[in-house]
Structure 1
Amino acid sequence: MEIIFRAFIVFTAGYLLLRITGKKAVSQMHSFDLLYIFVLTNIISMPVEDDHIGKALTYAVIIVVFYKVLIRLSLHNKLRWILYERPTVLIRNGDIDRNGLKKVRRPMNEFLSHLRVKGFTETQNIAMATMEETGSISVIPKSEYRPVQPNDLNLRVRKEYVPIPLIMDGQIIYHNLKYLQLKQSWLINEVGKAGENVENIMLATYSENGELFIDNNELQNHKNDPYYYEPGTDN
């Protein structure tokens, strides 16, 4: 029981400290972001083997405070260039920057694979490609190769609407009902009209026209329909 309790304390403390840290530390990481995670992980795992749980948690809190201070300092432009690495240009106006690739130690075949993942097969069609400070590669195509935008054709498009989930995995999302000023009775009634039960619904969303779209757990039978082909011998 002591081992289980100690592991629970360590896990809970680590979770709370990461929540305090914020999303940034667990998304795309900079150098000291990654170092922070490594150090914090080692510190909070110490009590699993040793009995100094109080000392370990104290060190963890100090590391979190120190990290938060660094994040605050990085908001200042002068200090930002010290704490973060600068983006490295890898392609300029269709020409590959060999010095840039050498600086980031990125082999040509690996670089080309990153471009293909982003949908680019011809380097001469790229205006600029850079490795950002997070380690990800961003690509800006030349104007004649970028996707056509509605503004290019002087088209007016309607505002994008994001469907709001009201049921997920058979559970009602009550705070979304409250946000839309809808009653649970309305939702149950709409579900009943569709001949469904709440517990059988994978996802139900509130659409722009005020209707309820329902996706249940059942898969439709599309036998021999080529548009629903699945690779393998069980198709």
Structure 2
Amino acid sequence: MPLILALETSSPVCSVALLHDGALLAASELRLDKSHSSHLTVLIEQMLSNTGFTLAQLSAVAVADGPGSYTGLRIGAAAAKGLCYALGLPLLAVGTLPALAHQVARQIPGAAGYRFAPLLDARRMEVYAALYRADGTELLAPAPLILSPESFAAELAEGPVVFFGSGAAKFEPLVAGQPHALFVADVQPAAIAVARLAEAAYARQEFRDVAYYEPFYLKEVYTTTPKQG
């Protein structure tokens, strides 16, 4: 009976969840900006203490794989890899976009009749986007997308698409009046969805190399040198 600890740090929300044999035991989140590095381990310790489990009883650790915040993803990956290395546990990595789609699809009645498009804000009019069926089938792979009124035109012509995530609000005005474009507000990545997809990955033994695992940033990270005064 696997006991899986899931970490989600790809967005401003820092969340953790504990799943035991398909049953959600606990979940906790903190919506404080830049709180991941100082609060992630505290959330884990408190959750395990509240449920009566210890780190030694874990079967695996799952982490949100990205795309998302570069710093947040690095913090989550470091914590997950540290736990796996110290405890000799397998590491699972779950994509942020499929986890978001799974999260929303579970809440939509008749979800099989819709397709689900998570949009993560990537600044200006750019988002990280993908498209999934309710059962998790990938229709469009995660990719950077500059939003325009023509975005998802072919998909919307075929039928209803549900848009959500931190970048959805930028897209909604561009497709105002399009009857097949549906929007769900205030959807943030959550460790619960990561845990549920991680359990299926655990059953398939889709483990990642603890030593060499890196998050899926989707785009290269650019750094600049401060200008001299």
Query: Whose RCO is larger (CA < 8 A, sep 6+)?
Result: 2
TM over 0.5: no
User: Which of 1 and 2 has greater Rg?
Assistant: 1
Structure number with the higher helix fraction is 1
TM-score with structure 1 setting the length: 0.21
TM-score with structure 2 setting the length: 0.21
Structure number with the higher strand fraction is 2
